[in-house]
Amino acid sequence: MLTVLVRRLLNVVPTLVAVIALVFLLFSVLPGSFISGMNEDGRGLVDPAVMERMRKEMGLDDPLHERFAKYIAKTFVGDFGVSFRTREPVTKLIGDRLWPSLKLVLASMLFAIVIGVPLGFIAALKPGSVTDTTSMVVAISGLSLPKFWLGLMLMYLFALQLKILPSFGYGDGGLTHLTLPAIALGVSPMALLARTTRAAVLEVLNADFVRTARSKGMSEPRVVTWHVMRNALVLVITTIGLQFGSLMGQAVVVEKLFAWPGVGSLLVDSVFQRDIPAVQGCILLIVLFFLAINTLIDLAYVTIDPRIRYA
Amino acid sequence: MTDSPLLAVDNLRIDIGGGKERHAAVEDVSFSIARGETFGLVGESGCGKSITALSIMGLLRHPLSLGSGSSIVLDGQPIHNASAAEMRSLRGRRIGMIFQEPMTALNPLSPVGRQIAEMFVLHMGMGWKEATERAVDSLRQVRVPSPERRVHDYPHQLSGGMRQRVMIAIALACSPDMLIADEPTTALDVTVQAEIVDLMRDLCAEKGTAILMISHDLGLVAQVCRRVAVMYAGRIVEQRASAEVFKDPRHPYTRGLLASLPRLGARSQHGRQRLNEISGVVPAVSAFPRGCRFNPRCGARTDICTIEDPQTTPLDGGQGLVRCHHA
Amino acid sequence: MKWGTNLWVGGGLVGVSILVGVFADVIQLADPVTSANLMNAEIPPGREFPFGTDAQGRDIYSRIVHGARISLTVGLVSQIANSIIGVTLGLTAGYWGGWWDDFVSGLTNLMLAIPSLIFALAIMAILGPGLVSLLIALGLTNWSYSCRIARAQVLSLKSQGYIQAARILGYGDLRIMFTQLLPNMLGPLIVMATLGMGGAILAEAALSFLGLGIRPPYPSWGSMLSDAREQINTAPWLSVFPGLAIFLTVLGLNLLGDGLRDILDPQSKERTA
């Protein structure tokens, strides 16, 4: 377990450094360099004095490699700089948004797993049946829906017409405010999980050891619970990890639509306000979340699949 | 044999597909196995021997199905029309089965001890604890060293031979009346093959279990089995005592199989000629030739072979049979 | 039986979208941008305006018809860019191996770690809104899957002795890659590209919805939805039709991708058959 964790973390570090470098370079080197380009695209004028202060604060006049080294060093100790807009440390800014974001992502993933996995399972047990066809039509439709449009339609139906749920905002952070954004965000991972689960279960059902199980005189429900479920789970869990990990990034549009105070809406607002440190911080956090989730998934593998433990 | 046989397969037909696309993959197959007897089914891959075994287990799955008129009787009880629940209680308890590939035939995520213990839980109503203790005994019986440790191992931690021993332990856990072994040694090293065959034979002799052994290797089958049926393109073409087959093979296909066996001091010239006779491949189920199904590959073919389907001819005083115009 | 349906329904939906995009000028009822007329503002769907009008009195139907052009262009061009990048990297990485392979694998992992929407959003933030920025942002950020497929295919062909044989015949590296290897992996890549196009159209809509994509007044489905959000209560049709257009186009691409997979990528068919 520990060696897997260590090995995995060693794999993550280069990716992390590369992401930090990329985020740094994107906003420091590319033409326009974000600040000097500020007055050119007509998105609001900035006082030259403010610009001068920003340049100085960011050390934009120092040589690139020095700035880069400094940025890396600061980032690794968790210092993402100070927000241009609020003058607060970016870590605090993000910290305030982290819990709402996590709540939304967890709720969506829960929705996706609770609906998607059983749907795929039921579909696979009777391939070609009406249930199967229906679930797969639902799944491919779910994959084709724009999240924000689905959110908009849910909002219209449940908040504005039926008036049973609030249309937007965080409120007290309770379930009533969480439901619509979580569904809007969760439908596409749900659809993908349904498809992956179906394929995984079908693959396992065709495996030789399932034939062995049947030759032992096992009833079909027992074959499924004793021999199919775990093996199918191993195949599904990668998809769960990849979806879960990227959900915080995918949440951007949904958070923006529902005015949910998460990292995603902070990112979009910061882009419009040209708050570079905040933008960089949000992106780094979203990537960090992806890497963290997938590390956890790797560890989950170790407990589920004995072949990896000894490999 | 005055007793009724343990297993009587009569007029077995296995269909593949349905409607207009239906073809008989196995047809007109009949044989019987006495209690404790060893019987072999031999043929190239695709001749229908494996699905014959699966049909006895009631494990044919779409697109395969048992044709009407087929009869499979186990110990006086017809099982070709048994309900799913009845078949379940037979499988594992009265008929055990071993498959070719012991790596994929065992669940990779489950300790081998548990996979054996399942048999005792399923068929003897034991609890898991007691069943696991019995699994240790089973492993000891199949001569797995330090069975107390091995019960907790996962399949990937065992060698191919060890895994096949586990399969045997599973198949024989409930002392079934019959063991079906489908190519049990094909995937194993040559050195391990003999050990596994000996183990199977010894254990079955001990428990009085009959063996239906399926293989492409006539030599192996003849070594284990008292009687042999040679299958070609979904039909039995020759069925006799193993000794007779070796002494005087009557069907050209059987002669070809025999000749292709590596044998010390073989009549090399003869042998080479016969190998040539068996060139070509097994025809596809949807394209069985007219007349004798072997005729396109047969060196002794005459006109009648391409026109008329040969009937079976009794041999050895009714103990054997052959399906050939020229036997 | 069911899979044939996939192909036909998907192909049909995509075909209709393409025709609509190509003949937008012919089948429009009014100019999508200049026909603003506040006298006609927010008229519900009816005889004169089949999908209604927006706050500026523009015909929604005509705007959607033109939106098809933008969505499909963005989807197609950015996916072609992604395919070229991914295939080139994957092919060379699998073929040459060594440090280049390590480098490409690292790059692929990096791309996978940054959700592509976020990456595209960052690029859009730097380049500013507009069609060209959009094509760059979406064309550079979603090649990791094509790259992985190409690399895996090369490795499997390599193990079959394919490359060895071609080398013995005296073929050069590039010739082997593009005449021997590429044709052998086109099936899965086409499937990937079809599905990727759907993803790109969704991403374009999302970015435009956020105000970082196509800028108004040009009629992109995403920017139409962005405008419509404010009027969801008074004029819901403004939201319904552009969303339906996105949904049906992407659904068509996804179905087509599934249908093509059954034909072009039989290995994965075996897995799910």
Mean pLDDT of A247-252: 92
> What single-letter DSSP state applies at residue B3?
S
Q: Specify the pTM.
A: 0.85
Q: Rounded to an integer, what distance in angstroms lies between the CA atom of residue C253 and that of residue C192? A: 11
In a domain? residue C211: yes
- CA R_g for chain B: 21
In a domain? residue C154: yes
Tokens read off for C115: 């959700």
In a domain? residue C93: yes
In a domain? residue C198: yes
Q: Provide the edge-to-edge strand list for the sheet that holds B235-241.
A: B95-98, B178-182, B210-215, B38-42, B227-232, B235-241, B320-323, B312-315
Residue of A nearest to B115 (CA): A213
A223/chain B closest Cα distance in angstroms? 11
Which residues in A lie closer than 8 A to residue B99 (C-beta atoms)? 208, 211-212, 215
List chain C pLDDT tens, one digit each, 273 residues: 445 888 899 999 999 999 988 888 887 777 777 777 777 777 778 777 778 777 777 888 888 888 898 899 999 999 999 999 999 999 999 988 889 999 999 899 888 888 888 999 888 888 888 888 889 999 999 899 899 989 988 888 888 877 788 888 888 888 888 888 888 888 889 989 999 999 999 999 999 998 888 877 778 898 888 888 888 888 888 889 999 999 999 999 999 998 888 888 766 544 332
Nearest residue, CB atoms, B99 vs list A208, A226, A304? A208
Cα B30 to Cα B181, B246, B315, C73, distances in angstroms = 18, 22, 15, 67
In a domain? residue C31: no
- Quick check: A219 contacting B, CB < 8 Å? yes
- Quick check: A187 contacting C, CB < 8 Å? no
- Quick check: A299 contacting C, CB < 8 Å? no
Which residues in B lie closer than 8 A to residue A219 (C-beta atoms)? 88
SS3 C170: coil
A228/chain B closest Cα distance in angstroms? 9
- Quick check: C205 contacting A, CB < 8 Å? yes
Residue of C nearest to A41 (CA): C128
In a domain? residue C79: yes
- Quick check: A39 contacting B, CB < 8 Å? no
B residues 238-277 closer than 8 Å to A (CB): none
B106 to A209: CB separation less than 8 angstroms, yes or no: yes
β pairing state of B178-182 and B7-16 = unpaired
How many domains, chain C? 1
B92 to A217: CB separation less than 8 angstroms, yes or no: yes
- Quick check: B57 contacting A, CB < 8 Å? yes
**Amino acid in the structure at residue C61:** Y
B268-317 tens-digit pLDDT: 444 444 444 466 677 778 788 888 888 888 888 888 888 888 888 888 88
Which residue did the predictor score with more confidence, A27 or A52? A27
Which residues in A lie closer than 8 A to residue B109 (C-beta atoms)? 230-231, 234, 304-306
Looking at residue A46, its pLDDT comes to 62
* Domain range for C251: 2-21+50-272
- Quick check: A19 contacting C, CB < 8 Å? yes
A215 to B157: CB separation less than 8 angstroms, yes or no: no
Nearest residue, CB atoms, B104 vs list A209, A227, A305? A209
Nearest residue, CB atoms, A145 vs list C212, C239, C247? C247
Which residues in B lie closer than 8 A to residue A217 (C-beta atoms)? 88-93, 122-123
Nearest residue, CB atoms, A271 vs list C117, C121, C202? C121
- Quick check: C233 contacting A, CB < 8 Å? yes
B88 to A207: CB separation less than 8 angstroms, yes or no: no
User: Minimal CA–CA distance to B169: which of B200, B202, B192?
Assistant: B200
Tokens read off for B16: 């593949």
In a domain? residue C39: no
B107 to A227: CB separation less than 8 angstroms, yes or no: yes
Which residues in A lie closer than 8 A to residue B119 (C-beta atoms)? 216
Average pLDDT, chain A: 85
A146 to C243: CB separation less than 8 angstroms, yes or no: yes
B58 contacts B87 by C-beta, under 8 angstroms: yes
In a domain? residue C44: no
Looking at residue B276, its pLDDT comes to 45
- Which CATH number does the domain housing residue C185 bear? 1.10.3720.10
C160/chain A closest Cα distance in angstroms? 25
